[in-house]
Amino acid sequence: MKLACSSIFNSNFGFGFSRVFRVFFSSTSEDTLFKRISPAGDPRVSIVPVLDKWIEEGRTVNREDLQTMIKQMRAYGRFTHALEISHWMSDRRYFNLSPGDIAVRLDLISKVHGVEQAEKYFSNIPEQVKAFQVYGALLNCYANKKSVEKAEAIMQKMRELGFIKRTLPYNVLLNLYSQMGKQEKLDALLQEMEEKGICYDKFTFNIRISAYAAASDVEGLEKIIKRMEVDPQVILDWTTYAVVANAYIKAGLVDKALAMLKKSEELVTVKRRSAYNFFLTLYAGTGKKDELYRVWNLIKTTEKVYNTTYICMISSLVKLDDINGAEKILEDWESDHTFYDFRVPNVLIAAYCKKGSIEKAEVLIKRAIGRGKKPNASTWNHLATGYLEGNQILKAVEMMKKAILASQPGWKPNRVTLAACLECLKGKGDVEGAEELVRLLRAHDSFPIDVHDRLLNYIKDGKPGSSALNQMKGDDLDSGGETHGILEFRQGE
């Protein structure tokens, strides 16, 4: 479980769907600009022609509408389209950008084009509009990229400009230190806050909790939670106790974890679905299957059960090695959902492949295909890994090709499996087949160009690219994890 405090600045610019719904869909029959751009989900397809056509038809759009659309695009991860709207707002509609607009654009440039392009944009911003929000956005960009030295340099510049009077920038840097395991720097920054009279907020405390949890410092964890409980300025919510529960689970203190989970459950008032998803995962971590099913039954009787919750439940049962239970939940999902989301069966497919039950995985996939459903890249990626475990290398290569062909730009395969496929093809003298696999990866933007080049060099002469293979094997491998992004702990949830 991850406390994603690096998204602190993003949360300020985030926008709830309910508000967007009221703004843009007050009349279901009304033709709105948002309705026109929302179906364009492919980031490679520009929405600028849609925006231009709206104006050509004699329609108008104000700054607030455009800002709202940018926020909604960002909320759904459509950063390329959000950036297009930002540029269109100033370049085609000639709206002057506020410091907040500039900060949002800076963040979007970093996400779409990389932090170097964001730095170039920042350097061209007139000094008179480089307000707190703009420096804060650049600080957050560096924190997201885990660029400690650059983040520290911007923090120092913000100190010199008198911008460090709030908790927010401290939280961004504190979270970066926590993620990088820089305990001494984290302690020093907290000390600076106390010396300057900058009060901790809930997020500061949560970062401190996460750092103690990562260090398995149970004593420190218990001290900070007691401090929070007596601080009248801090309103505890379910996320805080959930983080503590997770730390106790990692320390093997199951009884204490269960006590924290009970406190956490009592505090759930909003975002219940998000909370229950975490409770499923955490109760699985305690090994208490009865508690897991208790929460599941509670969800089914009080909430609409979405695909993400099914994924959490099936993943939790797999973790407890209850494959039969996971199969029953999947059957329940298949009978109750008209929209077939392959991420749900992928959890069980991955479990089958890891256990060597490749035949069960194949049956599940064939059953879905027979119903007209299309497996995604992760489905084939899991099968490739399963075939590799069963020493069926050529089938693994075939499935890896299917995975790449079915992938979206930026998707990454299981790198150990990919490396094994390349080594196998090279070992069999099938240089052409290995090169084809690497070219497919490049075409689908799966790795940086330099990695592709080193892999091709390795395939040709066996020397320069071996480091690329070793790097792939050593990285965080399983890109097919269906709970990635679902079980990420966000501040304020």
Span 290-311, mean pLDDT? 93
The least confident of 40-54, 124-138, 171-185 is 40-54
Q: For 239-252, how does the pLDDT look when each residue is reduced to its tens digit (9 = 90+)?
A: 889 989 998 998 89
Span 80-94, mean pLDDT? 92
Q: Which helix (H) or strand (E) holds 490?
A: strand 488-490
Contacts of residue 7, defined as CB under 8 A and 6 or more positions apart, other chains included, come to: 490, 491
| pLDDT of res. 482 | 56
The length of the chain in residues reads 493
* Both tokens assigned to 158: 């913000």
Q: What is the dihedral of CA 126, 130, 136, 138, to 10 degrees?
A: 10
Q: Model confidence at 32, in pLDDT bands (50, 70, 90)? A: confident
Nearest residue to 387 (alpha-carbon basis) of 364, 362, 367, 411: 362
Domains of the chain, first to last: 1-159 (1.25.40), 340-493 (1.25.40)
What are the Cα distances from residue 33, in Å, to 51, 61, 240, 283? 7, 8, 40, 45
DSSP secondary structure letter of residue 488: E
| pLDDT of res. 471 | 52
Span 388-414, mean pLDDT? 89
- 66 or 12, which is more confident: 66
| pLDDT of res. 201 | 87
Percent of the chain with pLDDT over 90: 56
Q: Model confidence at 462, in pLDDT bands (50, 70, 90)? A: low
* pTM of the predicted model over 0.75: no
